[in-house]
Amino acid sequence: MMRLEVMGLQRLEVVERTYYDSVTLMRVAKEIGGMEGVSSASLSMGTDANLRILAAAGFDVSNLSATPNDLIIAVMGEQDVLDLAVAKAKEYLSNPPWRQGQDGGESYKPRSLDGALTVMPEANLAVISVAGRYAGDVAMDCIAKDLNVMLYSDNVPLEKEIEVKRAAAEKGLLVMGPDCGTVVIRGVAIGMANSCPTGPVSIVAAAGTGLQEVHVQLARRGVGTLHGIGTGGRDVKSQVGGIMVEMASRLLLEDHEVQVLVIVGKPPAPEVEERILHLARGSSKPVVLGFVGGKAKGDQHPVYICRELEETAAVAAALAKGEDVPQVRAAMDAQVEELKALAKRIGPRKGYLRGLYSGGTLCYEAQLIARDILGPIHSNTPLEEHLKLEDSLRSVEHTIVDFGEDEFTQGRLHPMIDVSLRASRFQEEVKDPEVGVVLFDVVIGYGCHPDPATGLVEGIRKAKEICGDRVVFVASVCGTPDDVQDADRQRRILEEAGVVVMDSNAKASRLASFLLSLSE
Amino acid sequence: MRILGASSDLKSSTLRVREVHRRALNLEGPLGERYSLVTGPSMMGPRSALVDRLPVLPEGEMVKLEGGWDATYDPSLAGLRPRGRWRPLWLEWLELMDDPDLEVLRGPVRSGELMGLVGLGPGHTPAGDDLITGWLAARWTLGDLESTSRFLEGFDPGLTTWLGGDQMTWAARGFAWAPLKGLLSALSSSDPEGILDALGELEAVGHTSGRSCLVGLALGLEGAMEV
Amino acid sequence: MNQKLRSLLKEGPRAVNIGVEQFAQDLAAQGVKVVQMDWRPPQAGSDLLSKLRKLKRQ
C-alpha cells in the first residue's frame, strides 16, 4: 500500500458547496505547499477517489464528511502554521495571488455566452472544459447559438451526450467530445495537442492520445495533418452510434484539401464499425482504419486496416507519399526483429512489467502489445474485466496503469500536467523485487506540463537508488521538436537518466515486453 | 514635480490641500470645488492634472496651480451613446451584486430608490456613490436629463464624503473619470476591439468601486431605479 | 453545409473558451482569436437579478 511518510501534524477543512476548477485548486495548493513549515498541501473536491488519494498521502480522512460538491483543504506541517495555511488557502481562492499586480489588471471575461458573442459574433467554436455535470447544458447553449463544440469535459452523462450530439447533427454542427482532449483544426492545436505541419492527411479520432500519436508519427515521417477531429471515446459505442465519427468522416471525405483519411480509436460497436467500413469502401480517397486491438485485417483499396497507432501512421504516410504499402509493412515487421535484438543487447530482466501511463489510448495499446508477448496484464482499465486491479495504487504481477482515469483526475490535474503521482509511483514499483521493467509515456505539446521529463526523471533517480540496474526503464515521447517542451530535449533528459527511449509507444511497449520474455 | 497632462477643464487657481493619498492629492479651490493631482492616467477625471510625482504637502497647505500644460484628457461624455448590440454584455454586470463584498447594495437596489444608496458602504467613495455615478452617467448619455437634474436638485452632500458627492454631481452633468469614460466610449462604438480591456480597466478600479459603477451603469442602461 | 462549420474548417477556429484558461492562452499563442468566459455554475438563488432582468427585457 502506497504511503508517504507523515511529516508533522495535519489539518483538514471542508468548504461546503463550492466550485473551483482543478487548475485553480492546484495553483493554490502549490502556493500553500511552499509556505514555511508546510510539508504538504492538497486542495481537491470531496469525491471518493480523492479521499482515497488523500488517505494514501497520509491524511486521516476517517472522520471527514464531504461530498463531491465540497472542497477539501488538506495541509500537513508544523502545528503553528496549519491554521494560517488553511486561512491563506481560502484567501487565495477568492483573491488569486498570481493575478495581482499590473495597473489596470486583466481584461474583462464575459460571464454569459451572449455577452461573449457580442465581442466575437464571428465565433465558430466553443471550447468547453467545465465540470462534467454542467458541461452538457453549456454545450446545448452553444449549439443553440450555432457554435461547433469541443467538449473537453468528461463525466458528461450518456443521455446528455446523445441529446447534445443529436441537436448538433440536426443543425450540421460538430460536437467533439465529451472526454475529447485533442483537436487539430487547420494545424491549430486545441486542448492537448502537438505542433505538427499541415498536409494531405486528416484524422478522425475516438481516442485522444490515439490522435496525438498518429499526428506525431505522421510528422516524423514528413507528412502533415490538416484536421484532427476528436469525437470522444463513447461516440463509437452502440448507444451513441458513431454520430460524430460518421459526420466528421463524411465531411473530410468530401473535402478537397484532404487526400488521405485516417479513422482511429478503440474498436467500435459492430454496427458502427460496419457503417464506417461501408462509408470507407465507397470512398474515392484512401481510408486508413486504425481500430487499436481490432480483429479485422487486410488492405483492399481504398480501405487499409491497421491495429496499432504507429502502424496506422506508417500506412497513411505511405499512401500520402505514394509509396508502396506492402513494402512499408514489411519494413515494420523487420523492425520487430530488431527490437528483439535490442532487448538482448540491453540484457533481459526477470519478472514483471509495470506500466505507468498518462495517455489512455497509449495505455490501451501497450496492454495489447504486452499481452501478446507476456500474457495477462492487470490494469485499472484492463482488456478483460477479471484483470481489473482491486487497488489502482497497488500493482499486481504484470500491470499497466492509466493515470488519466477518473479515479486519479476527479478534482485533480491530469497526469500530463502534473507528473508527481507517476514520479512517486516509480519508487513504489521498484521496491517490489519482482519488477524487471518499468514502461511509461511522456506526452508533450500544448496543454501539457512545460517539462514533464525533468519531474519524471527526479522520481526515476530516486527509484534507481533503490533498484540499481535490476529494473530497465523504457519510454516513448509523444511530441515533436516544435512543441514548446521540444521532444528532442525531453528525450535527452530521459536518456541521461538511463531511460531507454523508443520512437513510438508501440516500439517502447514491444521492447519492454521482449526484455522480460527473452529472459528464459 | 512636472505636469505631464491635464483635463481640458483645468484652470489656474489657488488651492488648499485637503486630502493626501498614496497616489493622488485632492485640493480645494476658492469655491470649495475639488481639484486633483494624480500619478496615473487611469485616475484622470474633471479638474485633474497628471504629474510625475506628488509634491509632499501637508493638509491645509496653500498651493498655486499655474498654467502651461497640455490638455490630454476630456472628461465630457458629450456625443457618447451606448449601442443596443452590447446589451447582453451589460446585463451581466447586474450579476456583480452577487459578489459578497457588494452585498450592501442589494437591499437598496431592490427598493428601486436611487437616493437610498448615497453614502452607502465604506471608503473614500462609498460603493453606493459609485453605483449612482454609473447610473447617472448612463442616464445622461441616454438623454434622460429629467433624472439627472432631479438628482442634482435633491442631492444632500452631507450624506456622504466630499469625493463621493463630487464624483456623482459630475456624472449628473455628463462628466466622468477616465475608466468610466473609456467604457462608455467603447459602448458607443460597434467595434469589439478594446471593449474587454475597457471593461477590465473599470472593473479593476479600487476594491469595490469599479464593480459598483458597472452595476449602476447596467441599471441605468436598463431604466431600472428612480431618483 | 452549416456556415459556422464551413468557416471552422476553411478559415480556422474563432473560439469562445469556457473553462480552463490555459486553453485560451494556448490558442492566442497560435494567433487564434479567442474570448475567455468567466463561467460560473447557474445559481439557485439570484432571484433579484432574474426579476430585474425579466422586468427590463420587455
Q: What is the pLDDT of residues B119-140, one digit of tens each?
A: 998 767 899 999 999 999 999 9
Count of other CB atoms within 10 angstroms of residue B216: 32
Query: Is the pLDDT confidence value at A53 over 90?
Result: no
**Mean per-residue pLDDT for A337-364?**
97
In this structure, are residues A382 and A367 in contact, taking their beta carbons and an 8 Å threshold?
A: yes
Percentage, residues of chain B above pLDDT 70: 100
Cβ B94–C55 below 8 Å, yes or no? Answer: no
For testing contact with chain C, the best of B90, B91, B96, B217 (most C CBs within 10 A) = B91
Cβ A130–C15 below 8 Å, yes or no? Answer: no
Q: What is the per-residue pLDDT for A348?
A: 95
How far, in Å, CA of A143 to CA of C25, rounded?
Answer: 23
Q: What is the per-residue pLDDT for B5?
A: 94
How far, in Å, CA of B180 to CA of B198, rounded?
Answer: 8
Longest dimension (CA), chain B: 50
Report which residue type is found at A520.
Answer: E
> Across the interface, which of B91, B92, B192 has its CB nearest the CB of A120?
B192
Shortest Cα distance from C6 to chain B (angstroms)? Answer: 23
Kindly report which listed range (A95-109, A136-150, A340-354, A448-462) carries the lowest average pLDDT score: A95-109
Whether C1 and chain A come into contact, CB under 8 Å, resolves to: yes
> Across the interface, which of A107, A122, A130 has its CB nearest the CB of C19?
A130
Strand order in the sheet with A9-15: A9-15, A71-77, A38-45
In this structure, are residues B145 and B131 in contact, taking their beta carbons and an 8 Å threshold?
A: no
Cβ A173–C5 below 8 Å, yes or no? Answer: yes
At B7, the pLDDT band (50, 70, 90 cuts) reads very high
How far, in Å, CA of A420 to CA of A441, rounded?
Answer: 14
**Mean per-residue pLDDT for A408-437?**
90
Per the prediction, chain B carries an average pLDDT of 94
Report which residue type is found at A129.
Answer: S
Cβ A138–C23 below 8 Å, yes or no? Answer: no
Cβ A190–C20 below 8 Å, yes or no? Answer: no
Cβ C52–B196 below 8 Å, yes or no? Answer: no
Q: Domain residues of chain B, as ranges?
A: 3-73, 84-222
Cβ C48–B95 below 8 Å, yes or no? Answer: no
Summarised one tens digit per residue, pLDDT across range B138-168 is 999 999 999 999 999 999 999 999 999 999 9
**Mean per-residue pLDDT for A164-181?**
97
Per CATH, the number for B3-73 is 2.40.50
Beta strands in chain B (DSSP E): 3-7, 13-20, 24-28, 34-38, 48-51, 62-65, 71-73
Summarised one tens digit per residue, pLDDT across range A459-489 is 999 999 999 999 999 999 999 999 999 999 9
Per the prediction, chain A carries an average pLDDT of 93
Same-fold call for A9-99 versus A198-323: no
Q: What is the per-residue pLDDT for C52?
A: 63
Shortest Cα distance from C21 to chain B (angstroms)? Answer: 16
Which residue, chain included where needed, has cell 484524422?
A: A203
Which chain C residues are within 8 Å of B224, Cβ to Cβ? 52, 55-56
Per CATH, the number for A109-179 is 3.40.50.720
Per CATH, the number for A198-323 is 3.40.50.261
What does DSSP say about strands A260-265 and A201-206: parallel, antiparallel, or unpaired? parallel
Cβ A108–B203 below 8 Å, yes or no? Answer: yes
Q: What is the per-residue pLDDT for A2?
A: 33
- Class of A9-99 in CATH: alpha beta
Which chain B residues are within 8 Å of A120, Cβ to Cβ? 192
- Structure letter (DSSP) for residue B149: H
Query: Is the pLDDT confidence value at C48 over 70?
Result: no
| C31 to chain A: closest CA residue | A188
Whether C43 and chain A come into contact, CB under 8 Å, resolves to: no
Query: Is the pLDDT confidence value at A96 over 80?
Result: no
Residue A307 corresponds to which cell in the numbers above? 491495429
| B94 to chain C: closest CA residue | C49
Cβ A107–B196 below 8 Å, yes or no? Answer: yes
Gap between the terminal Cα atoms of chain B: 42
* Backbone φ, ψ for residue A300 (5° rounding): -145, 105
Query: Is the pLDDT confidence value at A5 over 50?
Result: no
Higher per-residue pLDDT: A259 or A9? A259
Kindly report which listed range (B49-53, B95-99, B114-118, B162-166) carries the lowest average pLDDT score: B95-99
Q: What is the per-residue pLDDT for C54?
A: 54
Q: How many domains does chain C have?
A: 1
Burial class (CB in 10 A: 0-12, 13-18, 19+), C55: exposed
Question: What's the domain range around C26?
Answer: 3-54
What does DSSP say about strands B13-20 and B24-28: parallel, antiparallel, or unpaired? antiparallel
Which chain C residues are within 8 Å of A173, Cβ to Cβ? 2, 4-5
**Mean per-residue pLDDT for A399-418?**
86
How far, in Å, CA of A253 to CA of A244, rounded?
Answer: 14
| B95 to chain C: closest CA residue | C49
Q: Domain residues of chain A, as ranges?
A: 9-99, 109-179, 198-323, 333-517
Which of B30, B39, B41 has its CA nearest to residue B178?
B41
| B96 to chain A: closest CA residue | A111
Query: Is the pLDDT confidence value at A214 over 60?
Result: yes
| B99 to chain A: closest CA residue | A94
Which chain C residues are within 8 Å of B94, Cβ to Cβ? 49, 52-53
Q: What is the per-residue pLDDT for A4?
A: 40
Burial class (CB in 10 A: 0-12, 13-18, 19+), A299: middle
> Across the interface, which of C5, C7, C18 has its CB nearest the CB of A172?
C5
In this structure, are residues A75 and A40 in contact, taking their beta carbons and an 8 Å threshold?
A: yes
Q: Which CATH superfamily is domain A333-517 in?
A: Succinyl-CoA synthetase domains (3.40.50.261)
How far, in Å, CA of A222 to CA of A216, rounded?
Answer: 10
Kindly report which listed range (A263-277, A452-466, B87-101) carries the lowest average pLDDT score: B87-101
**Mean per-residue pLDDT for B184-193?**
95
- Structure letter (DSSP) for residue A308: S
Q: What is the per-residue pLDDT for C51?
A: 59
At C58, the pLDDT band (50, 70, 90 cuts) reads very low
Whether C52 and chain A come into contact, CB under 8 Å, resolves to: no
In this structure, are residues A248 and C1 in contact, taking their beta carbons and an 8 Å threshold?
A: no
Whether C49 and chain A come into contact, CB under 8 Å, resolves to: no
